[in-house]
Chains A and B, each alone.
Chain A
Amino acid sequence: MFWQQLLNGITLGSTYALIALGYTMVYGIIQLINFAHGEIYMLGAFTGLFLVTVAGVNIGVALLGAMALCMLAGMLVERTAYRPLRGKSSRLSPLISALGVSIFLSNLMVLIVGVNTRRYPPEYSLGSFQIGGVQISSMQLIILVVSALFMIGLQYLTHKTKVGKAMRACSQDLEAASLMGIHVNRIISFTFAIGSALAAAGGVMVGLYYNAVWPYMGTMAGLKAFAAAVLGGIGSIPGAMLGGITLGVLEIMGVAYISSSFKDAIAFGILILVLIVRPQGILGRKLSKKV
């Protein structure tokens, strides 16, 4: 029972982690909570669904297609709603702009597909197998493997490539980075693209796992993922992964051993408790303020 719940928790947690990575990368560079990120995740889930049902492509192709489309969507959102505000206002106005985009995107999707919950065709609910009393469905295995691959890939990208180095430079100091000849705007666009692609992958896999896709699915998932990013220490990429998995496991354990009707409250309750003890999150750096 315990190991089963742990596995379910890690599965849920890896999807939180995939979304949380987008929050944390964007935050690391431009200190913006990108509230439209949950809607990008929703867009990814729908794109995947339509590629599978309408275009009839393979699920792997659908995953890549959703990621590609969301990359463009993420870059477009950054270009239209955030870039015009950059550098000329308080930090709250981009936040409101992000919330505006979030309302816009979810209602756009309602107009296109209606409010009903859509489902993936049944042939994707593949079988499951047992290892030592723990039931693992193929979908869980796919989620775990794909998320792990993406996270390793991201770690490689940020630490071993030139563009990754530029991203890290931007997150340390945007101005100094631009003085070093880094195209800051291009790097920010790139960060949105990567984050959005990861969210889209999360969206397609969650859509398959829970077999439900609806236009408002991004709001709660986005809040949870943001909570995960903060839990791990916002701005830190390993923190987002750790925070996502921790939150997923604790939430599933809470549902299993405490009460299922308090599911959403448990996640946030844990978050608040952790932040009271460790205000900078699990892996966050403590910045001392300079006068």
Chain B
Amino acid sequence: MDQLINQWIDPYYMRIIILVGINIIMALGLNITTGVTGQLSMGHAGFMSLGAYASAILTVKLGAPFWLAILAGALVAAAFGFLIGLPALRLEGDYLAIVTIGFAEIVRVFFLNFEPGGKAVGLSGIPKETGFTLVFVITVVVILLTAWLLNSRLGKAFYALRENEIAASACGINTTSLKVWSFVIGAFLGGLGGALYSHYMYFISPQDFDFSRSIELLNMVVLGGLGSIPGTILGAGILTILPEMLRVVAEYRMLFYGALLVILMIFRPNGLLGDVRIYDLKKRLGKKEVNTCRS
């Protein structure tokens, strides 16, 4: 299947498509933590890094099968998501932001000094197991699962928690366990994306998962629209493709990228598709005719 597709699509475009898929998976995770539940996490790269390293060490050093490695990577990240979710119970907004930034920095410094991970040099020779089909299937499954989750009781409780924590707890929502859950789910998807990433890239180093990577992921969620699955997919797509398209302006690339973030925020302060959910889109499409009749 992959070979067939590789014949038809240029490897450069293929690479972008696969990275879009991986970014969608990770951004959807962050969307649950930050977009839906409103717990500002600026250290998602930390979870990605844990997933990437844990899975790569399993396949490279211990010869574990690929599927086990990505599952283990995601679970390791989820375990750390649980740990980071605990301080989140007492912290709010920007205090939480700096704790998550700090967490990602600690993870980065840890891997800079971690012998099995190759220290600052990085870990190379990771088998290239991630292909288009796998990323595509996992992305679709993740999109469907998160859409189902957000539409479920748990998902609605997440939205309630973001809108008003006190009101939510007064309605009998257990805010404590929900906050931890939002971190665990977000971290799991971050780790999953990281594991897929490391098995696509051959090579990872701690520099791949620095603060700017966390920011990139947060940008995808905020730009697309907080709490919106279609928005997050759009945001991940745009922010993965945009830097590639900006290659035409060569050394001005990052300059444009920064300026575009500011401009986009000024014109669409709530993101491109703020809080639009998949079933809203369906409803809106279905309603079109009704609306014209009513007016």
A103 touches B261 (CB 8 A): yes
- Residues on B with C-beta less than 8 A from A105 are 258
- Total A-B pairs in contact (CB under 8 Å)? 132
A268 touches B112 (CB 8 A): no
B102 touches A100 (CB 8 A): no
- Residues on A with C-beta less than 8 A from B212 are 103, 219
Per the 8 Å Cβ criterion, residues 95-119 of A in contact with B are 95-97, 99-105, 107-108, 110-111
- Nearest-neighbour CB distance to chain B for A160, whole angstroms, equals 29
> Given A85-B266, A97-B266, does the pair A108, B255 have CB atoms closer than 8 Å?
yes
A272 touches B94 (CB 8 A): no
B134 is an interface residue with CB less than 8 A from chain A: no
- Residues on B with C-beta less than 8 A from A107 are 254-255, 258
A84 is an interface residue with CB less than 8 A from chain B: yes
Considering the chains assembled together, what is the distance between the CA atoms of A271 and B257 in angstroms?
31
B211 is an interface residue with CB less than 8 A from chain A: yes
Q: Which residue of B lies closest to A222 (CB)?
A: B211
Considering the chains assembled together, what is the distance between the CA atoms of A289 and B93 in angstroms?
13
B95 is an interface residue with CB less than 8 A from chain A: yes
A84 touches B266 (CB 8 A): yes
B166 is an interface residue with CB less than 8 A from chain A: yes
Q: What 5 pairs across the A-B complex have the smallest Cβ distances? A: A100-B261, A89-B269, A104-B258, A268-B102, A103-B258
* B101 interface neighbour in A84, A104, A223, Cβ under 8 Å: A223
* B259 interface neighbour in A31, A85, A104, A275, Cβ under 8 Å: A104
> Given A92-B222, A102-B258, A262-B109, does the pair A279, B95 have CB atoms closer than 8 Å?
yes
- Residues on B with C-beta less than 8 A from A268 are 101-103, 105-106
Considering the chains assembled together, what is the distance between the CA atoms of A26 and B134 in angstroms?
46
A33 is an interface residue with CB less than 8 A from chain B: yes
Per the 8 Å Cβ criterion, residues 9-50 of B in contact with A are 34, 40
The digit string for B246-270, where 1 denotes a CB below 8 A from any CB of A, is: 0000011011011111100110011
Q: Which residue of A lies closest to B266 (CB)?
A: A84
- Nearest-neighbour CB distance to chain B for A78, whole angstroms, equals 12
Considering the chains assembled together, what is the distance between the CA atoms of A144 and B163 in angstroms?
46
* B103 interface neighbour in A102, A230, A234, A272, Cβ under 8 Å: A272
Considering the chains assembled together, what is the distance between the CA atoms of A234 and B110 in angstroms?
28
- Residues on A with C-beta less than 8 A from B174 are none
> Given A265-B106, A268-B105, does the pair A104, B226 have CB atoms closer than 8 Å?
no
In the complex, which range does the number of interface residues on chain A fall in? 35 or more
Residues of B within 8 A of A (CB): 34, 40, 87, 90-95, 97-99, 101-103, 105-106, 109-110, 112-113, 165-167, 211-212, 215, 218-219, 222-223, 226, 251-252, 254-255, 257-262, 265-266, 269-271
List 29 A-B pairs, Cβ < 8 Å. A33-B94, A85-B266, A85-B269, A89-B265, A89-B270, A93-B269, A96-B219, A96-B222, A97-B261, A97-B265, A99-B219, A102-B258, A103-B212, A103-B254, A103-B257, A103-B261, A107-B254, A107-B255, A111-B255, A234-B94, A261-B113, A265-B105, A272-B99, A272-B102, A275-B91, A275-B98, A275-B99, A276-B87, A276-B90
> Given A97-B265, A264-B109, does the pair A279, B91 have CB atoms closer than 8 Å?
yes
A271 touches B98 (CB 8 A): yes
Q: Which residue of A lies closest to B113 (CB)?
A: A261
A219 touches B211 (CB 8 A): yes
- Nearest-neighbour CB distance to chain A for B103, whole angstroms, equals 7
- Residues on B with C-beta less than 8 A from A223 are 101, 105, 211
B269 touches A101 (CB 8 A): no
A27 is an interface residue with CB less than 8 A from chain B: yes
- Nearest-neighbour CB distance to chain B for A48, whole angstroms, equals 23
Considering the chains assembled together, what is the distance between the CA atoms of A91 and B186 in angstroms?
21
Per the 8 Å Cβ criterion, residues 235-291 of A in contact with B are 261-265, 268-269, 271-272, 275-276, 279-281, 289, 291
- Residues on A with C-beta less than 8 A from B92 are 279
* A96 interface neighbour in B97, B106, B110, B218, Cβ under 8 Å: B218
- Residues on A with C-beta less than 8 A from B105 are 223, 264-265, 268
> Given A85-B266, A89-B269, A265-B109, does the pair A100, B98 have CB atoms closer than 8 Å?
no
Considering the chains assembled together, what is the distance between the CA atoms of A20 and B132 in angstroms?
46
- Residues on A with C-beta less than 8 A from B166 are 289, 291
A27 touches B94 (CB 8 A): yes
- Residues on A with C-beta less than 8 A from B226 are 90, 92
B109 touches A100 (CB 8 A): no
Q: Which residue, of B91, B97, B109, B110, has the highest number of chain A Cβ atoms within 10 A?
A: B109
* B251 interface neighbour in A95, A111, A265, A280, Cβ under 8 Å: A111
- Nearest-neighbour CB distance to chain A for B268, whole angstroms, equals 8
The digit string for A60-103, where 1 denotes a CB below 8 A from any CB of B, is: 00000000000000000000110011001111111111011111
Q: Which residue of A lies closest to B274 (CB)?
A: A90
> Given A84-B266, A94-B265, A223-B105, does the pair A275, B252 have CB atoms closer than 8 Å?
no
- Residues on B with C-beta less than 8 A from A269 are 102, 106
Q: Which residue of B lies closest to A84 (CB)?
A: B266
- Residues on B with C-beta less than 8 A from A230 are 94-95, 98
B262 touches A271 (CB 8 A): no
A92 touches B257 (CB 8 A): no
